[in-house]
Amino acid sequence: MENTFINKLKQRFSQGDVLMKFIYINIAFFVVIRLASLLFTLFNVTGIDFLTYLQVPSDLALLLVRPWTLFTYMFTHYDFMHILFNMLWLYWFGRIFLQYLNERQLGGLYLLGGIAGAVLFVLSYNIFPYFNTLQGSSFLMGASGAVMAVVFAISFYKKDYEIQLLLIGRVKLIYLALFTLGVDLLAITSDNAGGHLAHIGGALFGIWFAVRIQKGKDLTRPMNRLVDWFVNIVNRKPKMKVTVNPRSETDMQYNTRKQQNAAELNAILDRLRQSGYESLSGDEKRKLFDASKK
């Protein structure tokens, strides 16, 4: 039964679009992280903060030795409400995005928006004096920056698109996006400053994407080519070594057969010279053709 459940998950993952794949990956990361944390607690394992190996550090020196965190952080969540709201926003706005743009653009935008959020977080913590005391001990995790890139990309690409909000009514998508951007700008000195900076970084990239795609320039193409290259390396199968089975006949039998074939071919060639190609039988024409390919 367990095997069937896992097979069904694999099937849904393989058959799902890129939006659902990202949601599944985020959930899988969340489950593994929480299980690992539970095991560490049960066995009294202390002094190992494994989450810091998945989160983006604000310390540039540490980031240089953990460059993979620029990608892993955008799939890393620890609190249930954190992943719940991020995945809901990703699903809602991702579905709207896919009504007008394609899956490859959504996939590339998610990754590039997440990177943009991480870059703004790291730069801000290393430039602004306000963050000096936090610079060496702050880490960023969560899909918020990547999600904001999707939200703002579709909001600025379809500025007249409206959604229905509870107690408010119909509101243009761009107004909701601008409201969230305003909230993030006002909150960059709060306890979750890094998260709000990541939101802003992702939002700015989403706006840039929307402006450029309307002019026929797809900013996600380089990232998608990089992903294709990586997937091809992972899926590349080793070359098969072909071995030829040894002859089942003896050397004497082999030489006799070769001589018979040569004599038969010479006879066909003599008839060809004397009477022309039309005088050959169908079998003789076939043998002549096979010999010409050797």
DSSP, residue by residue, 62-92: HHHH-TTHHHHGGG---SHHHHHHHHHHHHH
CB 69 within 8 A of CB 56: yes
CATH of residue 144 = 1.20.1540.10
Q: Are residues 196 and 96 in the same domain?
A: yes
Q: Are residues 106 and 182 in the same domain?
A: yes
Share of the chain above pLDDT 70, in %: 87
CB-CB neighbours of 96 under 10 Å: 18
Decide which of 188, 207, 235 is a domain's last residue.
235
- Flag whether 246 is in a domain: no
- Flag whether 169 is in a domain: yes
pLDDT in tens, 8-50: 778 888 888 999 999 999 999 999 999 999 999 999 888 778 9
- Flag whether 284 is in a domain: yes
**What is the model's pLDDT at position 292?**
65
Q: Are residues 208 and 278 in the same domain?
A: no
Q: Are residues 25 and 115 in the same domain?
A: yes
Q: Are residues 50 and 119 in the same domain?
A: yes
Q: Are residues 283 and 158 in the same domain?
A: no
Burial 131-146 (b: 16+ CB within 10 A, else e): beeebeebbbbbbbbb
**What is the model's pLDDT at position 8?**
78
Tell me the range of 64-73, 162-171, 230-239 where mean pLDDT is highest.
Answer: 64-73
Q: Are residues 122 and 257 in the same domain?
A: no
Q: Are residues 220 and 277 in the same domain?
A: no
Q: Give 249's pLDDT tier (boundaries 50, 70, 90).
A: low
pTM above 0.75, yes or no: yes
- Flag whether 244 is in a domain: no
Q: Are residues 85 and 133 in the same domain?
A: yes
The domain of 23 spans 2-235
Q: Are residues 33 and 150 in the same domain?
A: yes
Both tokens assigned to 40: 């560490």
Closest C-alpha to 187, from 151, 144, 150:
144
Q: What angle do CA 279, 287, 278 make, to 5 degrees?
A: 15
- Flag whether 117 is in a domain: yes
**What is the model's pLDDT at position 7?**
81
Decide which of 207, 235, 263 is a domain's last residue.
235
- Flag whether 204 is in a domain: yes
Q: Are residues 144 and 286 in the same domain?
A: no
- Flag whether 243 is in a domain: no
**What is the model's pLDDT at position 11?**
83
Total structural domains in the chain? 2
Q: Are residues 71 and 127 in the same domain?
A: yes
The 3-state DSSP composition of the chain as helix, strand, coil percent (nearest 5) reads 70, 5, 25
- Flag whether 240 is in a domain: no
User: Is 2's pLDDT higher than 70?
Assistant: no
Both tokens assigned to 64: 């240089």
Q: How many residues does the chain have?
A: 294
